Amino acid sequence: MAEIVSLTAAIGSAIHDGDTVAMEGFTHLIPHAAGREVIRQRRRGLTLVRMTPDVIYDQLIGAGCARKLVFSWGGNPGVGSLHRFRDAVENSWPGPLEIEEHSHAGMANRYVAGASGLPFAVLRGYAGTGLAGQPASIREITCPFTGEQLTAVSALRPDVTVIHAQRADRAGNVQFWGITGVQKEAVLAAQRSVVTVEEIVDELDPRPGAVVLPAWTVGYVAEVPGGAHPSYALDYSARDNDFYVAWDAISRDREAFTAWLEREVLA
C-alpha cells in the first residue's frame, strides 16, 4: 500500500546501492527531481534501465551512480549527443559503464513481460541486426502453432521503478495522462516503486486517456511540484526546450558538468 512521504525519504527507503532501477517517462513526465535526489544520496553501482536514457541518466552516469545501462536510444532528443553517456562508453569516465542495448520495441515488450509475470515476450524484431547477438536477453523462438521464427526477449524486473505523475489522492492512488509511455508496465514489473506527483488532491476526477495505478500497486508517493523539469507534465508545465539545448554545452565538458553538478544538485 502506498505511503505518502518526502522525496528524500522515498529514495532513501526504496533505492539501495547496486539496485536495478528503472526511471521511465517517454519525453513527457520524466522523474528528474527523483534522479537528482539519487545523485544527492550518492547511490553507487546502479544498473539503470530506461528506453531513452535522456538528460536524466546523462546526469546520473556523469555523477558516477551507474555500473550498467540497459537502454534503446541514448541521445538528447532534438539536440544531439548525450555527452556524459558517450564519455562513459568511449573513455570510461567517471568509470566503466557496461551496456545492454535493445530496440524500443524490444524494451517495451520486456517491460510488458515483467508486468505480466512472464519470463519473456515475443515480437517480430532484431532479425538480421547486430543487436541480435545478445543471448542473455534476445533469442530466436519458434512459434508452437505455426512454426514461424520469432524473437523472444527476456523480462525486465527492476528492483525499483521511479515515475512522475500529474496527481495522486491522499490514499496514494496515482493518475497520469497525455503521453503515458511505458510507465504502467515499468511500475507493475518492479519489486518496489516511487512516484513523484505534481500535486496530491482529495479526489481524482476522471481525465481522458488517463492511467490510474491503484494505491496497492505503488510503494512511495512524494509530492514534488515541477518534479519533471526540464521535461514536462501535461496541464501543469511546458517542456523546457532551452534547457535541453543548454545541456549540450554543460555536459560536453567534464569540468563544466562537475561545476553544474556541484552548483545545481549537490549544493
Q: Which residues bind another protein (CB under 8 A)?
A: 26-28, 51-52, 71-75, 77-78, 81-82, 85-86, 89-90, 101-105, 108-109, 111-112, 123-131, 148-149, 178-182, 184-185, 209, 211, 232, 234, 238-239, 241, 244
Instruction: Quote the CA–CA distance of 63 and 6 in Å, as a whole number.
Output: 23
Separation CA 120–CA 111 (nearest Å): 9
CB of 170 to another protein, least distance (A): 27
What is the DSSP-derived secondary structure letter of residue 99? Answer: E
DSSP state of 95: S
Closest CB 85 distance from another protein, rounded Å:
7
The neighbouring-strand residues paired with 66 are 46
Burial 78-108 (b: 16+ CB within 10 A, else e): eeeebbbbbbbbeeebbeebeeebbbebbbb
CB of 148 to another protein, least distance (A): 7
Give φ, ψ of 49 to 5 degrees.
-115, 130
Report the residue number, 63 or 228, with the smaller CB distance to another protein.
228
Residue 239 CB, nearest distance to another protein (Å)? 6
The residue among 220 and 227 lying less far from another protein, judged by its C-beta, is 227
Nearer to another protein, 102 or 164 (CB): 102
| The residue to which cell 525499483 is assigned | 160
DSSP annotation of 133? -
Residue that has been written with the C-alpha cell 506527483 in this structure: 197
Using an 8 Å Cβ cutoff, are 168 and 197 in contact?
yes
Q: How far is the CB of 67 from another protein (least distance, A)?
A: 17
- When the beta carbons of 7 and 186 are compared against another protein, the nearer one is 186
d(CA 203, CA 167): 10
Nearer to another protein, 85 or 220 (CB): 85
In the complex with another protein, the residue whose CB is nearer, 65 or 107, is 107
Smallest distance, another protein to C-beta of residue 26, A: 5
CB of 150 to another protein, least distance (A): 8
- Between 4 and 48, name the residue whose CB sits nearer to another protein: 48
Other C-beta atoms within 10 Å of 125: how many?
A: 18
Residue 162 and residue 23 in contact, taking contact as beta carbons nearer than 8 Å: yes
